[in-house]
C-alpha cells in the first residue's frame, strides 16, 4: 500500500542521499503558471517544426517571448526552491533534475542543476551552435524594434513568454557570426532532450539512493525516462504534487500538497 503521509515521506528519505526531480508545480508558487495544472491557460505552444519552417511564426514567437522575458526576469524563488537548496547544501540531495527553464533552483541556492528542457537565459544559433546571453539578445531586439513597449497587463505563460500580440514590423535578429536562426536554448515541443543532458540525469540516478519528484504530473516522457532509470535500480520513489500523476500507482510514497509547504517541512525534519 502506498504511504500518503508527510511522515512516510520523511521516513523513506531519512538516511538516504537522493535526487530531486521537479516540474512546473514547483514554480507555480512563484507566479509562473502550469501547462497542465488546475486553471492552466489554454494555449498552443510553439513547436520546433513551426519555428523552423515559418519566418512569420518566428516573428510572432519572438514578440511574445521578448515581452515575457522582461516579466520572467522579475520572478523570484519560493519555499520549494529554497528547501531543495537547503537539502542539497546539507549533503542530502545529490542532484537536482528539473523540467523547468526558469533557473529558480539556482536562485534558491541549488548548484549544478540538470536542465532537461534547457534554460531561457541563453540563446543558441541553430547553424553555428554559438550561445549568446539572453540579455544581450534582448538588447538587440530592442534596438531593432524601438516600437516594442511592455503592455500594462499581460499573461505570463509557463515557458516564459506572453501571448504574442503580433506585429508585421517585428524584426528578429540573426546570429551576428553567421546569420543563422536564433532560438532560445530550450527544448520546444517536438524536440528531444539532448543526449548529453539525459546522460547527466542517468548518472545522477546511478549515484542516488532514492528519488523525490516534486511538482510534476509526469506527463512528459523526459521525466518518466528518469523514473524508469530509477526503477531499473530498484530505487524508492516519492512524489509530492497537487493533482494526479502518471506514476502514482508505482510510487512508494505519494503526498498530495503544495511543493513549498511539503518540501520545507521535509527539509526541517531531515536537517534537524
Burial class of residue 231, CB neighbours in 10 A (0-12, 13-18, 19+) = middle
Catalytic annotation present for 117: yes
Rounded Cα distance between 221 and 225, Å, is 6
Catalytic residue (choose from 66, 105, 115, 117):
117
Cell of 76: 523570484
> Could you give phi then psi for residue 189, rounded to 5 degrees?
-60, 130
Burial class of residue 150, CB neighbours in 10 A (0-12, 13-18, 19+) = exposed
Rounded Cα distance between 153 and 27, Å, is 20
Instruction: Please provide the size of the chain in residues.
Output: 272
Tally of CB atoms within 10 A around 248: 16
Q: Which residue has the cell 514590423?
A: 169
Rounded Cα distance between 208 and 219, Å, is 23
List active site positions.
Answer: 117
Amino acid at each position: 500500500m502506498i504511504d500518503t503521509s508527510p511522515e512516510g515521506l520523511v521516513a523513506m528519505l531519512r538516511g538516504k542521499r537522493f535526487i530531486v526531480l521537479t516540474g512546473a508545480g514547483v514554480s507555480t508558487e512563484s507566479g509562473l503558471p502550469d501547462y497542465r495544472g488546475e486553471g492552466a491557460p489554454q494555449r498552443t505552444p510553439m513547436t520546433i517544426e513551426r519555428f523552423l519552417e515559418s519566418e512569420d511564426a518566428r516573428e510572432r514567437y519572438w514578440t511574445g517571448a521578448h515581452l515575457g522575458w522582461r516579466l520572467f526576469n522579475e520572478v523570484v524563488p519560493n519555499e520549494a526552491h529554497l528547501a531543495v537548496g537547503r537539502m542539497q547544501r546539507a549533503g542530502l540531495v545529490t542532484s537536482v533534475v528539473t523540467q523547468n527553464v526558469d533557473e529558480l533552483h539556482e536562485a534558491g541556492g541549488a548548484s549544478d542543476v540538470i536542465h532537461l528542457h534547457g534554460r531561457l537565459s541563453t540563446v543558441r544559433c541553430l547553424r553555428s551552435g554559438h550561445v549568446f546571453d539572453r540579455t544581450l539578445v534582448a538588447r538587440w531586439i530592442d534596438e531593432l524594434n524601438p516600437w516594442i513597449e511592455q503592455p500594462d497587463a499581460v499573461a505570463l505563460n509557463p515557458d516564459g513568454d506572453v501571448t504574442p500580440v503580433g506585429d508585421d514590423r517585428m524584426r528578429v535578429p540573426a546570429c551576428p557570426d553567421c546569420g543563422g536562426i536564433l532560438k532560445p536554448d530550450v527544448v520546444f515541443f517536438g524536440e528531444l532532450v539532448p543526449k548529453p543532458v539525459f546522460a547527466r540525469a542517468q548518472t545522477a540516478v546511478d549515484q542516488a539512493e532514492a528519488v523525490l519528484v516534486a511538482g510534476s504530473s509526469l506527463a512528459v516522457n523526459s521525466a518518466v525516462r528518469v523514473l524508469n532509470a530509477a526503477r531499473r535500480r530498484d530505487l524508492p520513489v516519492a512524489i509530492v504534487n497537487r493533482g494526479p500523476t502518471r506514476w502514482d500507482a508505482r510510487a512508494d510514497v505519494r503526498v498530495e500538497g503544495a511543493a513549498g509547504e511539503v518540501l520545507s517541512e521535509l527539509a526541517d525534519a531531515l536537517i534537524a
